[in-house]
Structure 1
Amino acid sequence: RIMAQLAARGIRCEVVRAPLDKRFLVYILGRGVPPPNNNTLRWCTRQIKIDPMAEALEQRLGELDGKILMITGVRQGESAIRDDRIAMSCGKDGAECGQGWYQEVLPNAKGIRGRIATLAPLLHWRVCNVWDWLRIYAPMAEYGGWATAAIADAYGGDEATEINARTGCAGCPLASKDLALDTIVASPAWTYLAPLQGLKPLYRELRLPKNRLKKTGLEFRKDGSAASNPQRMGPLTFKARLMGLDRVIGIQNQVNEVARQIGRPEIDLLNAEEEARIRELIAAETWPQGWEGDEPTADTPMGTVFRDGSVQPLLV
């Protein structure tokens, strides 16, 4: 509804997505890259959000002269990691945050260097300010009559102020708790989305050693030096990928079957094109770069190989 309201005001809306092979579930289940984690493999944010947006901005800049301004909803306190980035960059060129965060961004991105700045007008808003805006002021005719009350309800309404819930990817493997989803399904209008709570356990299961391959010894870089992580765990087996695909489709079907029965919005975790591409990549026996597919599964007992090449035999 909000996109329709924007279009009615002459504001063009476009949904930006990653290329097919780099979309979240295609990358995991088709190519076999494990779900991201916070330690060694946090690939999702850049690949499915930042890079597609940078490409879209480059295309738009090609149609315009001068600079463009990107308005974001980033807010201090929303994420400790984001807060660190804000603290480092707010003082650029002696500037102060003032009412928002305004600075040059994406400085190294091809095609947009020095031509885009970002404004974060909510930077210093408290959580209660956000919910007051969504529930009270934005829907008022004098403030535009925006259809935002449903968003506040989806976040949890007044309770969201206490739990600081914010939406992101459903079942995000990087979040310790999916507070927003838990809050949403507690609402009678959204209870039918409860099967989505099965995504996070699925991603956790896919990272288990039994579902992944493992290198058996040392690997060497192009310069001849030994890689720092001998016997590293790697991609998902085909069996694990098919299991994951079946589970995701099952979750989607569960939700949508009830949605059709009660007249609620359906979800789209995987569309037909993405499912077909996953099956195509599996049929083509696709592995990430550096993997052949003949490596043992990571739960296979074997001696320990150290970076200096020494081996501690397996004691049985």
Structure 2
Amino acid sequence: MITNARLRTRWVHTNIEAPYPFSVTGFNQLSTGRGVAFSAELVHPNLGVVGCIANGGYGGSTTFSPYDHTRFGKRNLEEFLRRCRQDGQPMDTGPVGMETLLNEIVNETETAGIVADMRATSQFVVRSRRPRETASSGPRRGAPLVYRGILLRRTDREDLAAELARDPAERLPAGAYWQMFDGLEWTPLLGEPPLAPEQINARLRRADQLTAGAPDRDTRLNAVPFDDQFHLSGTPAARFTLTGDATSRLCTDSWCQCARRKATVRFERWNGTTLEESGVVHAARRCRRLVRID
């Protein structure tokens, strides 16, 4: 039931802004000659299981069958839909919009599970994205593709993009692009660089200053104040790492799985004049694992 009009939540994987989250349990699916049949129980955050979502897999609509109309029925779900927005726009409140909502509840839950596995096994996940304005039938988000190892470097992600472009099975329609899950959000696989040119120049000037003040160009520094944001560890004239605190330890080959994070720390890894890796880690010394990548 909707009890407070001001309470809102955002579903990260489908970009729906809604009064509260839904999930599904007991998901089952079966390939048919015309598609995929599936069923799952709809879980309300306060009421628990309230009904069944199903699709016969023969080109028909996805439907919701409530278990108790007086507890939570179709009217309640219609009221919920009227207060939902996706990608910043109100959702269609007709039959098409209701089917979209039901499918997206399933997609949100399934993708959340894939991302949980990604964190647990140090994986990297991408999917295709087709914005609303380029698809007459509405926005489209492709099924997630999972890769072993975290592609922290932009050069590695460029290689993946080239690999996907060569694969006929992954050819994108007009207006679509690839997204990665950066640890917190879905962002373009090859988005804008994390630093503007003036920021890069400022970093390199400061590295030159530290190099000039060192006994020689091979001198290794440890957590030396770099500017008002970073400490530097490494060799300023060659490879060095910038961290937002005085702890140089980083575990960037795995994702943070801590239930709570009191603080996070930004980092950058440089090779000469090239920023190779950057992102955010959990600040706790016992962790120092990835929270988000740029």
Smaller-chain TM-score bracket: under 0.3
TM-score by length of 2: 0.27
- Please identify which structure carries the higher helix content: 1
Q: TM (normalized to structure 1)?
A: 0.26
